[in-house]
C-alpha cells in the first residue's frame, strides 16, 4: 500500500467521525446538559484497524495516530506486533505526537499464550507479558490486553475460524488441565502490573476465554483489581448479547468490531445500540476501541465505523 495515497485518500471521509461527535454533543446539550459534558463513552481506534496483519500493507504507528486524529477519534490503542521498533526515542516520539494531536494512548494489545503443559514455556510468556506491561508504562498506557492463549492444534488461524474458534486440546490433555496454568501465569504477572499501574484485561479471545464461563472462572479465581476484562464484541459468535451481558460488569476496556466490505473471517451484524445499553447498565464508562475487521478500504470504513460508534455510545 502506498503510504502517501493512503493518508491522502482518507481526507474525503474524515468529516464523518467529527460530525458524529459534534452531533452527539449537540444532542447532549439539547437533553438538558448545557455544560456540554462528555456524553457516554470516548471512542478510540486500534492501529490493527489500519493493518490487519497484511504484510503488503504495513502502516506505522505514527501514521495510525495521525489518521486517528484527523478522523476525530478520542484515543488510540496500539497493537504491539505492529511496532517496527521499541527504541526509547521512538516511544517518546509517539507520546509527544499523541499529546499534540489531543489523543490518549489508551490500550496496548499484546500476544502471548499460557496454554503450555511445560512450565518453562509458560515462563517465557510470563516474561513477554511483563515486558508488555513495562512498555505500556513507558508509553503512559493504562491497560494491556492479554489472552489465555490457544492449544495450537489448529493448522492456522483460518482453520480455527472455520471451526468457530473451537480447538481440541493437545493429546493427553483437557481444558480442565489448563485453567490452573493460566491462573498461575496471570498471578505471576500481577506484581509488575501493580508496580506499573497497568491493568491487565483478559479478552474473550478464543482458548479458555472463548465462553463467558471460562473467562469469568479465570478472572474470579485471580480476584485482583489489576485484572479485568477486555470485552470484544465480535468474539462471541453465538448469542453475543447474552454473553456480553455476562462479562460486562468486569469490563475495563472494550473492543468494538465492524465489518464493512465483509469480514476477513466472518461477519457479525451487531446491534451497537443494544450493546451500548448493556454496557450502560453495567456502569461501564471507559473507552470503546474500534477494531475494524472488514475488507473495505480503512480510509472509508474506519470513519463510517466511528460514526456508528458515536451514535450508539456518545449520547445519553
197-214 confidence digits (pLDDT tens): 999 999 999 899 999 999
What's the confidence (pLDDT) of residue 195?
Answer: 98
Q: What sign has the CA pseudo-torsion 234, 235, 240, 242? A: negative
pLDDT of residue 18: 45
CB atoms within 10 A of CB 175: 16
Question: What are the cell numbers at 185?
Answer: 501465569
The whole-chain average pLDDT of the chain stands at 90
Q: Is the pLDDT of residue 239 over 90?
A: yes
- What is the per-residue pLDDT across 16-43, written as a single tens digit (0 to 9) for each? 444 444 454 445 444 445 666 677 999 9
Residue 304 in this model has a pLDDT that exceeds 50: yes
Q: Could you give the CA distance from residue 265 to residue 200 in angstroms, rounded to a whole number?
A: 27
Sign of CA pseudo-dihedral 119, 122, 126, 131: positive
Cell representation of residue 131 = 515486558
Q: What is the pLDDT of residue 184?
A: 98
Give the Cα separation of 78 and 274 in Å (integer).
27
Q: What is the 3-state secondary structure (H, E, C) of the chain?
A: CCHHHHHHHCHHHCHHHHHHHHHHHHHHHHCCCCCCCCCCCCEEEEHHHHCCCCCCCCCCHHHHHHHHHHHCCCEEEEEHHHCCCCCHHHHHHHHHHHHHHCCEEEEEECCCCCCCCCHHHHHHHHHHHHHHHHHHHHHCCCEEEECCCCCCCCCCHHHHHHCCCCCCCCCCCCHHHHHHHHHHHHHHHHHHHHHHCCEEEEECCCHHHCCHHHHHHHHHHHCCCCEEEEEECCCCCCCHHHHHHHHHHHEEEEEEEECCCCECCCCCCCCHHHHHHHHHHCCCCCCEEEEECECCCHHHHHHHHHHHHHHHHCCC
Give the start-to-end residue ranges of the domains of the chain.
3-313
The yes-or-no verdict on residue 131 having pLDDT over 90 is: yes
What pLDDT score was predicted for residue 3?
Answer: 46
pLDDT digits (tens, 9 = 90+) for 247-293: 999 999 999 999 999 998 899 999 999 999 999 999 999 999 999 99
What pLDDT sits at residue 30? 47
What does the CA dihedral 309, 310, 312, 313 come to, rounded to 10 degrees?
100
Q: What is the model's pLDDT at position 34? A: 60
In the predicted structure, residue 308 carries a pLDDT above the cut 80: yes
Q: In the prediction, which pLDDT does 51 show?
A: 87
Other C-beta atoms within 10 Å of 58: how many? 14
Architecture of the domain delimited by 3-313? Alpha-Beta Barrel (3.20)
**pTM score of the predicted model:** 0.88
Amino acid at each position: 500500500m502506498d503510504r502517501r495515497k493512503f493518508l491522502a485518500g482518507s481526507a474525503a471521509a474524515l468529516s464523518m467521525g467529527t460530525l458524529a461527535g459534534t452531533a452527539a454533543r449537540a444532542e447532549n446539550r439539547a437533553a438538558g446538559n448545557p455544560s456540554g459534558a462528555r456524553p457516554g463513552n470516548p471512542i478510540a481506534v486500534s492501529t490493527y484497524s489500519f493493518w490487519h496483519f497484511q504484510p503488503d500493507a504495513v502502516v506505522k504507528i505514527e501514521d495510525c495516530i495521525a489518521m486517528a486524529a484527523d478522523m476525530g477519534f478520542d484515543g488510540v490503542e496500539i497493537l504491539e506486533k505492529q511496532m517496527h521498533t521499541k527504541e526509547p526515542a521512538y516511544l517518546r516520539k509517539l507520546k509527544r505526537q499523541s499529546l499534540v494531536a489531543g489523543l490518549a494512548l489508551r490500550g496496548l494489545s499484546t500476544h502471548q499464550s499460557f496454554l503450555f503443559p511445560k512450565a518453562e514455556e509458560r515462563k517465557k510468556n510470563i516474561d513477554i507479558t511483563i515486558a508488555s506491561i513495562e512498555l505500556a508504562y513507558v508509553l503512559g498506557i493504562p491497560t494491556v490486553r492479554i489472552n489465555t492463549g490457544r492449544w495450537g492444534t489448529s493448522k492456522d488461524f483460518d482453520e480455527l475460524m472455520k471451526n468457530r474458534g473451537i480447538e481440541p486440546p493437545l493429546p493427553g490433555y483437557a481444558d480442565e488441565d489448563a485453567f490452573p496454568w493460566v491462573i498461575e501465569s496471570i498471578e505471576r504477572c500481577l506484581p509488575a502490573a501493580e508496580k506499573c499501574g497497568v491493568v491487565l484485561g483478559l479478552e474473550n479471545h478464543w482458548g479458555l476465554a472463548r465462553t463467558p464461563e471460562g473467562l469469568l472462572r479465570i478472572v474470579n479465581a485471580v480476584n485482583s483489581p489489576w485484572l479485568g476484562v477486555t470485552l470484544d464484541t465480535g468474539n462471541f459468535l453465538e448469542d453475543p448479547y447474552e454473553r456480553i451481558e455476562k462479562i460486562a460488569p468486569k469490563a475495563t476496556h472494550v473492543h468494538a468490531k465492524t465489518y464493512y466490505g465483509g469480514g476477513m473471517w466472518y461477519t457479525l451484524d451487531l446491534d451497537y445500540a443494544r450493546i451500548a445499553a448493556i454496557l450502560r447498565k453495567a456502569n461501564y464508562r471507559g473507552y470503546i476501541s474500534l477494531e475494524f475487521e472488514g475488507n473495505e478500504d480503512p480510509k472509508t470504513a474506519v470513519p463510517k465505523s466511528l460514526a456508528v460508534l458515536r451514535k450508539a455510545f456518545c449520547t445519553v
